[in-house]
């Protein structure tokens, strides 16, 4: 119960642009429930989006994927960290797996377009977009 409340609070804080508050809330949640995979994913993706603490983001996302290796959101988040770390081939591998798992999410296709562009394949980038 407390985990759900903290997760929702962290989501709201992030959406209200209270990055530091969201980080504190998700970290608190992870001290209570270290395997809360949604919190691991959310926190890792938040760092990746800002291009900060990328090794920490990768570690959080690896933990989330250990909980659910087929989760499209987690795969996309991990791929996005790889993109931010400029490991574009690994990024493509994980985001392709995310597309297979959650093809309805347009953010994943946006990520794939950026990855393909970074790899120098504008045709694939145009199709992914």
104 three-class SS: coil
How do the pLDDT tens digits run along the chain, 129 residues long? 678 899 999 999 999 999 999 999 999 999 999 999 999 999 999 999 999 999 999 999 999 999 999 999 999 999 999 999 999 999 999 999 999 998 788 999 999 999 999 999 766 555 555
The model's pTM is 0.90
Q: Do residues 75 and 98 lie in contact, with contact meaning Cβ atoms separated by under 8 Å?
A: yes
- Per-residue pLDDT at 77: 98
Q: Do residues 79 and 102 lie in contact, with contact meaning Cβ atoms separated by under 8 Å?
A: no
Distance CA 114, CA 102 (A): 18
Long-range interactions of 13-21: CB distance < 8 A, separation 24+? 14/42, 14/46, 19/46, 19/50
- Per-residue pLDDT at 3: 81
DSSP result, 16-43: TT-HHHHHHHHHHHHHH-TT-HHHHHHH
- Per-residue pLDDT at 118: 95
91: nearest Cα among 122, 129, 54, 119:
119
Q: Do residues 31 and 23 lie in contact, with contact meaning Cβ atoms separated by under 8 Å?
A: no
């Amino acid at each position: 119960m407390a985990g759900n409340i903290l997760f929702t609070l962290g989501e709201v804080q992030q959406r209200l642009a209270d990055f530091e508050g969201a980080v504190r809330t998700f970290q608190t949640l992870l001290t209570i429930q270290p395997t809360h995979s949604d919190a691991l994913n959310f926190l890792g993706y938040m760092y990746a989006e800002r291009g900060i603490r990328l090794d920490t983001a990768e570690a959080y996302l690896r933990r989330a994927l250990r909980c659910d290796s087929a989760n499209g959101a987690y795969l996309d988040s991990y791929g996005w960290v790889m993109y931010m770390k400029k490991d574009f081939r690994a990024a493509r591998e994980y985001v392709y797996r995310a597309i297979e798992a959650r093809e309805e999410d347009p953010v994943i296709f946006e990520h794939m377009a950026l990855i393909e562009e970074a790899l120098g394949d504008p045709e694939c980038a145009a199709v992914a977009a």
